[in-house]
Structure 1
Amino acid sequence: MIRAEQRGPILRLTLQNPPANALSLALMEFLQSELDAVRSDETIRVIVIAADGKLFSAGHDLKQMTSHRGDADHGKAYFEDVFAVCSRLMQSIVDHPKPVIAEVDGLAAAAGCQLVASCDLAFASERSRFAVNGLDIGLFCTTPAVALTRIVNRKQAMEMLLTGDAIDAVTAKEIGLLNRVVPTESLTSVVTECASLIATKSALAVKLGKAAVQKQSAMGLAEAYQHASRTMVENMLSHDAAEGIAAFLDKRKPTEPSNDRPGETRDIPD
């Protein structure tokens, strides 16, 4: 259901739930457990979320959810569980100490689009498309809207939410959902190159910075600057900053222990 591969400092998590890579309850729980397991793993610097097949993810598993309409409560408890697990997963990506990159090749719809919007960076192939099309089946994509409206302009997000129309990758980049659009055959290498570059930076500085960016975005201007200043002081007092600045002034490369190790692959069973 999920293939996890570590290559040096990069952890690659690949969705494998054909044909639509639906975000079933089990898949979301597996993805959550993988993210939780590496929060304090110093050998991992960057996480990439990708998918096998022609779709990145079509969203929640509607067949699975519909099967619970026969429950005594008409599925209410199960629906609550699904959306609670999904909400925690998306928040854990945003709050994760490691940068998380979405690698999209194909359609990302509804909760699949929400997953892309929740990642720190997103790269997509030219053939990729993005939609929040719940209204096509009588269901407004309210939870995907939380991630989407925090990434793109509200009016552009509302157009996607109200029409359900899919947008192409170029449009997705123009509205801020993506960082880059690249040829399909180059997608993985471009993502790996970016992840590898990030992995060379100070892990502590990246962790502090990502957390600060997320926290200050919900603050007023004065409070945001106060919080950012405290974070800068904490960062300045660290070994990484002391060594990095000294190396810059001495016109030399900073010394840092290597975290590389041979690649490992593990499969998570269904």
Structure 2
Amino acid sequence: MSHVMSVRFDGDILSEQHYISLRTASKVFGHLQVAVDRAHLQKLGRLHKHAKLGAEQYQSHVIWLGDSLANCRTFQILADNDDKQLIDVVKMNFVDAFEGAVKKGIAAEVEDIRDESRLVLAKVESGVVRPTRYNEFRVLNEERFSSGFIRRAIAKELVKIGSVVSSEGAGASSITLDFLGEDSEAVTLNRQIAELLRNYVGQRSLGDPVVYAGEYRGGDVFTKTGKFKNALNGKTMIVRFDKKEDAMFLNGFSGQVVSIVCCPVLEYGTHDVECGDVFYLKKI
């Protein structure tokens, strides 16, 4: 068992006695554990949307919370040699997301993928763009998106850790994740960096249009989302709509097998080809 990283809390999130609240600690360490779990699922080749480790993995792979230092502001994280490899995967993805967000320098505006969808629909309607069948899309993109999906799944946990210091109640606070070893790295999150990181990892765009066949299971016209069970793999994915009228129209086919043209929603440049969210263009 060795000391592989430390987590340090500073600023207004500490009490006058330099204690950290149970709520804050549970969020930070909880999301750190989820990131480690995702690194473990990647190692097992089982990382996909909604994937979870089983009880056997929980018992055989334990990351330990070690001693607290400097009046409870810094906590050691301990792991054995095998599990240190998982921490290294977390480090790599956390640092990549952190450096990407910082280098960007300004908070990115949230892309309006509705505008993008209208442009793609116009190209489909005019015949300029021909949608790909889902089976072809999956074969062509499964390997391409797999590494990106791992990056996003782990980086999103860093965003959630950052949310602890980005709230109004956190005041002027920071959290530092200090990864030890031969290639030591440190990630320090404050309100500004957390906001940059949230926008950077959360950037969305649309992929090329795809034809999906399956059962439409209805949706909510107010949130403009629906559920669609893909006939080829049996997985259910979220369908997002530009307009309430589109959601109402497709609700008329609830429970029926239909073919729809949608664009995969890319987040952080990647997409889960099995059951990632898609953006509705038209029914065919």
Question: Same fold by TM (over 0.5)?
Answer: no
Name the TM-score, length of structure 1 as normaliser: 0.24
Going by fraction, where is helix more abundant, 1 or 2? 1
Going by fraction, where is strand more abundant, 1 or 2? 2
Higher Cα Rg: structure 1 or 2? 2
Name the TM-score, length of structure 2 as normaliser: 0.23
